[in-house]
Amino acid sequence: MIKDKIDFIFSRFLITAVISFIVLIQPAANSQPKTEMVGLVKGDSVIIIPAVPPARGGGLNFYKKSAGGQFVLLNTAGPVLPITDDALILEAFGNRWETFSSELSLREPADLVFLLSEDPQAFFMIAFRYPEVIKIAGCWYADKITDKKGESEYRIDYLDETRNTVRSVTRKLKLKETSLPVPIDVTAKPEGNKILIEWNYPEMSKDLSDLTTQFLIYRKQANGSAERLYNGVIPRDNNTSFSYYDESVENGVEYSYYVTAVDLVGNESGQSSPVMTVVYDKTPPAVPDEVKADSVEGSIGVSWKMNLELDARGYNVYRSLKVDRDFVKINTGLLPVDKTFFYDNNFTFGIQYFYCITCIDKNDNESGKSNPLAILYEDMVPPDPPADFNYRFENNLMKFSWTASKSADVEGYHYYRGESAEVLPRITSDALKSVTYTDSGYSGRGFTPGQRYTFALTAIDKGRNESGKIYIKDVLIPDNDAPEPPQGLMTENVNGNYVAISSGGSVSADVVIYKIFRSEIPSAPVELTRYNSVPFQYTDSTVKKGSAYTYYAIAVDSAGNSSKPGRTDTVLVKDDSPPPSPRSVKAVRLQAGIEIRWEVVYDFDLIGYNVYKSQLPNGNYIKVNKEVVKELKYLDAGGKATEFYKVRSVDTSGNESNRGEYASPK
């Protein structure tokens, strides 16, 4: 089983550099492994990594030789053990676990520890591609250092399941801070709809000082910030040239790239010199084929096979009178890629046309034209006639409307007018394009009242075929002259109780009805009553005191024509009788001012009270309230104890009571 997994790893990874490294740490066949360790400085620590993981169930102790020559245990809290908890293994790999487990055919995370402990050769091969396995195998110890010069000697003890030492490894490790070579000769070249990034890197050395394992590529778009392009592993093998295709690019956008190198413990080199490039797609799509054309009712229909290329955006249709030149695009907008048909409605019957189709891609590259396809359309079938032919007579004009013909090739309509269906000359010289028409009569002078006419309408198609007629027969032109308005309208306000209206008649002889209207600002005029004879009198008892009304009358003749309004008259409805005066008026001095009180006044159109004051009992009284007082008291905040007050009641006609008794707070 383990042999099968190792073979699988070799076939999956194919990392020749790792094979070279394994040669350094492995002995000849049938001998015990040459135990070894490596050390890489990362930040303020040296990372100690044994080349061989502990056996299954075992662990590791890490020692450092002191100045006195004694090895001192570093991991004092206990042996460093492999991680066997599934959740911790998944956390270490993050989103790379699915890819990793698929490549190694692992069913459970804990299977990884078993695989690494059973065959040490698999450990470093996997670690070069997935450094996470170093910590999972228990082969990682970070020793804090203060001096990054010189060297220190370390020892690793391999422990069995009972925590007894089964073997030890010692080695002097240089404490020099890691400085990885920067990738060189970076280039970025467009290839179709993707960009090829290439770079060079020194060949892997044959000692343990070179543990660069992979590369990172960063991309910046326009003025944005640089981001890592690919979250997977770009491994370093034993070559000196490397490449990667960026397929997530957009045409016409400028991209900048740089590459870094990463070693076994995650140290990252400096950035390579950035390179910039732009992808421009200049490859046109394929020429449309299977182009067909046929005549349909009123149109020439052209169709073709749909272009299935991913960047195809739409089609253009070209037409010419010649087979080999002078083709002109006839579609106003680009046809969608899934619309593989076009109806040409702008043509002349009896003429041969040639059609070609082109395809446009998302970068506006246009294909060549398809082979020209010829078609000749001769129309001999008349269209369907229009329907719903209607009219209205307005201002001595005939205004017609109708429903369009159902035929698709209709170009317009012809209009006919005469005294009968047998005598019916055509009035329009050119076909009407709309579905309405206004006839102003002979020479534009309108129609003769009392005259009878017949009207007809036909449809005309593009082949100049004319439909049958639809008729409006025996139309009588009515009298449309408005009568003169009534004369001598008079109105009278009768003591605020009602308005009396009287009026004389119109001088026109054909008047049959008189209408009286009343308007009250801001309301619209309303009709009050009608009379069939004059003179007439009308009493409007629906008025309200204090409101103004405007009255007018119109005359209507036997043809239903209405006159303009006659004389208008406006009347204010009010009475001249003042309401009673308030009684028991008193003035009381309060902290807030002078409060005046009185008894209620009973009157059917009372709206409130006004308060007056004076410096003398018989002096000049001045109103102190701004709005009519609705209550039976009023507070004069600025009043004085030396002033005198009177109260007057007010009705809806604006009449005030006589000034009655006065009151003073003294």
Query: What pLDDT digit, counting tens, does each position of 27-84 carry?
Result: 443 444 454 788 889 888 999 999 889 988 899 999 999 989 999 999 999 999 999 8
* pLDDT score recorded for residue 10: 42
Residue with token string 């707070």: 665
Among 248, 278, 308, the domain boundary falls at: 278
Phi, psi of 22 (to 5 degrees): -60, -35
Do 78 and 118 share a structural domain? yes
**Total number of domains in the chain:** 6
* pLDDT score recorded for residue 60: 95
Range of the domain at 418: 387-476
Q: Rounded mean pLDDT of 432-456? A: 86
**What CATH number has the domain bearing residue 556?**
2.60.40.10
* pLDDT score recorded for residue 208: 61
Which of 248-252, 268-272, 357-361 bottoms out in mean pLDDT, i.e. has the lowest?
248-252
Residue with token string 């490549």: 103
Q: Rounded mean pLDDT of 627-638? A: 93
Q: Which residue type is seen at 293?
A: A
Do 255 and 110 share a structural domain? no
Do 16 and 136 share a structural domain? yes
Q: Which residue type is seen at 77?
A: A
Q: Find how far residue 18's CA is from the centre of its chain.
A: 54
Would residue 645 count as lying in a domain?
Answer: yes
Would residue 245 count as lying in a domain?
Answer: yes
pLDDT at 9 over 50: no
Do 188 and 170 share a structural domain? no
pLDDT at 12 over 50: no
Residue with token string 């001598």: 488
Do 257 and 166 share a structural domain? no
Report yes or no: 535 and 489 within 8 Å, Cβ to Cβ. Answer: no
Would residue 131 count as lying in a domain?
Answer: yes
Would residue 602 count as lying in a domain?
Answer: yes
- Tens of pLDDT, residue by residue over 498-532, are 899 999 998 888 889 999 999 987 788 999 999 99
Two tokens, residue 320: 């010419």
Radius of gyration from C-alpha coordinates of the chain: 53
Residue with token string 């055509």: 426
Dihedral through CA 426, CA 430, CA 433, CA 434, nearest 10? Answer: -40
Do 298 and 268 share a structural domain? no
Q: Rounded mean pLDDT of 622-629? A: 93
Would residue 431 count as lying in a domain?
Answer: yes
- Tens of pLDDT, residue by residue over 573-587, are 888 788 899 999 999
Q: Rounded mean pLDDT of 548-557? A: 92
Phi, psi of 83 (to 5 degrees): -85, 120
* Assessment of whether the complete model's pTM goes beyond 0.75: no
Do 167 and 87 share a structural domain? yes
Do 136 and 15 share a structural domain? yes
Which of 111-125, 346-360, 569-583, 601-615 bottoms out in mean pLDDT, i.e. has the lowest?
111-125
* pLDDT score recorded for residue 311: 86
Would residue 665 count as lying in a domain?
Answer: no
Q: Find how far residue 456's CA is from the centre of its chain.
A: 51
pLDDT at 335 over 70: yes
Which of 124-133, 168-177, 280-289, 311-320 bottoms out in mean pLDDT, i.e. has the lowest?
124-133
* pLDDT score recorded for residue 491: 92
Do 296 and 435 share a structural domain? no
Would residue 439 count as lying in a domain?
Answer: yes
Among 353, 376, 399, the domain boundary falls at: 376
User: How many percent of the chain have pLDDT more than 70?
Assistant: 94
Q: Rounded mean pLDDT of 10-19? A: 42
User: How many percent of the chain have pLDDT more than 90?
Assistant: 49
Q: Which residue type is seen at 475?
A: V
* pLDDT score recorded for residue 207: 63
**Separation between Cα atoms, residue 229 and residue 224, nearest integer Å:** 14
Do 438 and 549 share a structural domain? no
Q: Rounded mean pLDDT of 145-151? A: 83
* pLDDT score recorded for residue 298: 72
For the chain, give the mean pLDDT: 86
pLDDT at 20 over 50: no
Number of helices (H), then strands (E), belonging to the chain: the values are 7, 42
Among 225, 245, 278, the domain boundary falls at: 278
Q: What 3-state DSSP class applies to 499?
A: strand
Would residue 285 count as lying in a domain?
Answer: no
Q: Rounded mean pLDDT of 623-628? A: 93
pLDDT at 644 over 90: yes
One-letter-per-residue 3-state SS of 99-110: HHHHHHCCCCCC
Two tokens, residue 119: 């065959």
* pLDDT score recorded for residue 92: 87
Do 156 and 50 share a structural domain? yes
One-letter-per-residue 3-state SS of 152-198: EEEEEEEECCCCCEEEEEEEEEECCECCCCCCEEEEEEEECCEEEEE
* pLDDT score recorded for residue 105: 84
Dihedral sign for Cα 22, 23, 29, 30, please: negative
* pLDDT score recorded for residue 8: 45
Do 326 and 459 share a structural domain? no
Report yes or no: 489 and 568 within 8 Å, Cβ to Cβ. Answer: yes
Q: Find how far residue 564's CA is from the centre of its chain.
A: 55
Q: What 3-state DSSP class applies to 356?
A: strand
